[in-house]
Structure 1
Amino acid sequence: MKQSLEEKQTLAMEGLASGKNCGQLVLLAYQEELNLHEEFLLSLSAGLIEGLGTLEGTCGALIGANLVLAMKNKGNPMVQVEAAHLFQDFVERCGASICKDLRGIAKEKPLCSCEDCIKEAIALLY
C-alpha cells in the first residue's frame, strides 16, 4: 500500500536525526515507488548535502526531488517540463532554490528551514 504524504514526511524527519542529508531523505521517501535499494539511493545522493557541499549550490532536497521525478518518469519526454514546474513550485513555496538563501546564511532570517524544504520537496512529488 502506498504511503501517505504524512508518513513520507515523518519518515524523512526521523532520517534527518540519523545524519542523512536533504537529498537522501527525499529519495528515501520515494524508495518504495522507485523500487530501488536504500544503499543505491544513499550513494546516489551522498553529495547533495548543504547545497552541493558549499551552501552556494541548489538545495539538496530540490535536487533529490528532481532525481525522483526523473526516475519515476523514465523515457517520458515531458520530464524536463515537469522538472521546470517542480523548480518553480519549490521556489514559490520555499522562497529560493539556493541553500544559503533558504537557510538565511547571508541574511538575518532563514526563508525556509531544511526540515520544511524536505517536507515541501516530498509534497511536491506526491
Structure 2
Amino acid sequence: MSKIKEAAERHERGYNCAQAVACCYSEEMGIDEQTVFELTEGFGLGMGGMEGTCGAVSGAVAVLGRMNSTGNLAKPDSKGSTYQLTRELIRRFRMKNQSTVCRELKGMTTGTMLRSCRGCVEDSVRILDDILEKL
C-alpha cells in the first residue's frame, strides 16, 4: 500500500493530520507508531486547534527532522540542512495549495476551501516522499 493511501486511511480512522502523515514513517524513523502518534498529537488542527500551521505539514517536518538529523547532541550540525529541506517542503506545499495555514486551507477566513484535510495529508506525503528519495 502506498504511503499516501496509508496516511489517508489513518486520517479516516481519526488520526489528526500530523499523526496521519508522521505515523506512516514510524518504521523508517525507527520509532514505534504509538510513540510517533503521541509526539504528534498536539500538532492537529493547526497546532492544538489554533488553526495555524497545517498539521499535515507539521507531521512531515517532524519526519524530515528525524530522517535528516545527525543526532549529534554535542555539536548540532544538521540543523541547516534540515531547515533547507523544511523550506523546500513548505515551498512546494504552498505552491500547490496557496497556503500552509489550516484556517486558510479550510476556508474559515474566506469561505472558500483551498484544500481538504485529506488532500493536505496526501500532498504532504507526496512531497515528503519525493524529498526523502533524494536523501
- TM-score (norm. length: structure 1): 0.89
Q: 2:83 aligns with which of 63, 80, 86?
A: 80
Structure 1 unpaired stretches of 5+: none
Contact 1:34 1:71 in 2 (8 A): yes
Matched, 1:118 2:121: yes
Q: Quote the offset at 1:111 in angstroms.
A: 0.6
Matched, 1:57 2:52: yes
Which amino acid letter does the alignment assign opposite residue 23 of structure 1?
A
Q: 1:102 aligns with which of 95, 102, 105?
A: 105
CA distance in 2, matches of 1:49, 1:108: 21
Q: Quote the offset at 1:53 in angstroms.
A: 2.5
Q: Quote the offset at 1:13 in angstroms.
A: 1.4
Q: Quote the offset at 1:14 in angstroms.
A: 1.2
CA distance in 2, matches of 1:36, 1:56: 27
Secondary structure of 2:114's aligned partner:
coil
CA distance in 2, matches of 1:90, 1:39: 27
Larger radius of gyration: 2
* Alignment map for 1:3-22 (pairs within 5 Å): 7-22=2-17
Which of structure 1's runs of 4+ aligned residues deviate more than 2 A?
Answer: 53-56
Calculate the aligned-residue CA RMSD, in Å. Answer: 1.3
Percent identical residues:
31
Aligned length in residues: 121
Which amino acid letter does the alignment assign opposite residue 104 of structure 2?
D
Moved more, 73-82 or 21-30: 73-82
CA distance in 1, matches of 2:23, 2:12: 14
Secondary structure of 1:14's aligned partner:
helix
CA distance in 1, matches of 2:112, 2:100: 16
Q: Quote the offset at 1:54 in angstroms.
A: 3.0
Structure 2 unpaired stretches of 5+: 71-77, 130-135
Moved more, 62-71 or 106-115: 106-115
Q: 2:92 aligns with which of 85, 89, 93?
A: 89
